[in-house]
Amino acid sequence: MFEFQTVFPGSSPLKIQMWDRDFVFGDDFIGETVVDLEDRFFSPEWQSIKHKPIEFRELHHKSTKVSQGLVKCWIEIVPSEVDMKEHIKWDISPRPPSEFVVRCVVWESKDVKIKDWEGTSDIFVRAFFNAEKNDKKTDIHYRSMDGKGSFNYRLLFDIQNPSPEQVLNLQIYDADLFSHNDFIGDASLNLALPIEDATLTNKPITLNKRYYDEFMQKYMGASELEYQDEESFWVELKDKDGNINGKVRLTLSVVPKKQAEDNPNAEARAEPNHSPYLPPPIGRMQFSWNPWTMLNQLVAPGVRNKILCAICIIICIVIIIMLLPNIMGQVIGGILF
C-alpha cells in the first residue's frame, strides 16, 4: 500500500509503473498505467460509490500499442478534513491458508480405447494436484472389452487455499504386468472457483449440476462437463493429439478440513463409506474353474474366435498325423496287392 498527499486542482495524474529488476544491467521498464485522480474526485458517479471497486488496468509501453499485462489495484481518495482515526483501514495482509479436503469419486469409465492385442484393456485412473506429492490411483478393472470400467472408488486430497495447486489432473491408463503402463488419455479440472467459494462460505461446495450451470460453466471454457444426474458428470480424456480416448464419470466436492474431520469418510470403498456410499464395482472379472468361462473373460470375442479356429486346425492336423500311417499303409497295400 502507498499513501500520498496532494491538492486538487493540481497534480492529479497518478502513474503506476511495472519494472523488471535487473541487478547487472539496470532495471527494465515494462509498462505503466495513468489514473486521473482529479477527474475521479470531482465525479458525482465516483463519489456516489460507497465501496470503491477493485480495478484491472492495462500496462502500456511507448514502443508498442499492445498491452504489456494487467495490474490489479484499488484506489481510494480521502479528503484531508476526514478524521483518519475514524476512517476504515483496510487489512491487505495475505490471507492465512485455509485447509480443505477434495473428495473425488471415480464411478466408471466408457468408450476407453482398447490397448492390448487380445482386444482388452486393464483400466485404472490416476489423479493428482501435484504429481510428485500426492498422486492417487483407483484399483484396476481387468479385461475390459468394450471400454467400460467400474470403479466406485474414492480419492481424497488435502489442499490449501491460497495455493498454486488448484487444478485436478486426471489420467487413464492400461495396466501392463511386464512393461510400462500404456497412457490412454488425460484431462484437467480447474477447481479455483469452488475452492474459493468454500473458503468464503466455510461450507462444503459440491460440483453438482446446479452449481456448474449457475457459476462454474463460464470458467470452464472449452472443457464442458456432461452431467449424467444432479451430482455426477462425465469428463472427456484426450491423448496428446487431442483425440477423445475415453470418458470418466466423477462426483467431486471441496470440504473444509475441520468439517471433513468431524464427518470423515475413507478412501477407496473402506469404512466409513458415505457421502456418497460406494457399492462394490460391477462387471469385473470373476474366477471360475470352467475354462470356457475364463476364456470368455480373458479375451475379446474376435480374438477368442481366432483362438478357437486355431485350436480346431491344430486338432485336425494332429488327427491327420495320427491317421497318416494307417492311410499310407492302406494305399501302399492296395498298390502292391
Q: pLDDT (tens digit, 9 = 90+) per residue, 251-261?
A: 999 999 999 99
Q: By C-alpha distance, which of 161, 153, 152, 151 is closest to 101?
A: 161
Contact between 147 and 129 under an 8 Å Cβ cutoff? The reply is: no
Helix, strand or coil, per DSSP, at residue 136: strand
Q: By C-alpha distance, which of 68, 72, 46 is closest to 57?
A: 72
In which residue are the cell numbers 480346431 written?
312
Q: How far apart are the C-alpha atoms of 59 and 17, rounded to whole Å?
A: 8
Per-residue pLDDT of 226-247, as tens digits, reads 999 999 999 999 999 999 999 9
Q: In the chain, what are the domains? A: 13-73 (no CATH), 98-262 (2.60.40.150)
The rounded percent of the chain whose pLDDT value lies above 70 is 93
Phi, psi for 216 (deg, rounded to 5): -90, -25
Q: How confident is the model at residue 204 (pLDDT cuts 50, 70, 90)?
A: very high
30 Cβ contact list (under 8 Å, min separation 6): 17, 18, 19, 20, 59, 61, 68, 69
* Sign of the alpha-carbon dihedral angle for 301, 305, 306, 308: positive
Per-residue pLDDT of 78-111, as tens digits, reads 888 877 667 777 788 888 899 999 999 999 999 9
Q: Within a 13 Å sphere around the CA of 313, how many CA atoms are in the beta-carbon half?
A: 6
pTM for this model (two decimals): 0.72
pLDDT at 320 over 90: no
pLDDT at 115 over 80: yes
- The residue type found at 214 is E
Peptide bond into 162 cis (omega under 30): yes
Q: How far apart are the C-alpha atoms of 101 and 228, rounded to whole Å?
A: 24
Which of 140-154, 266-280, 316-330 is least confident? 316-330
272 Cβ contact list (under 8 Å, min separation 6): 264, 265, 266
Question: Largest Cα–Cα distance in the chain?
Answer: 138
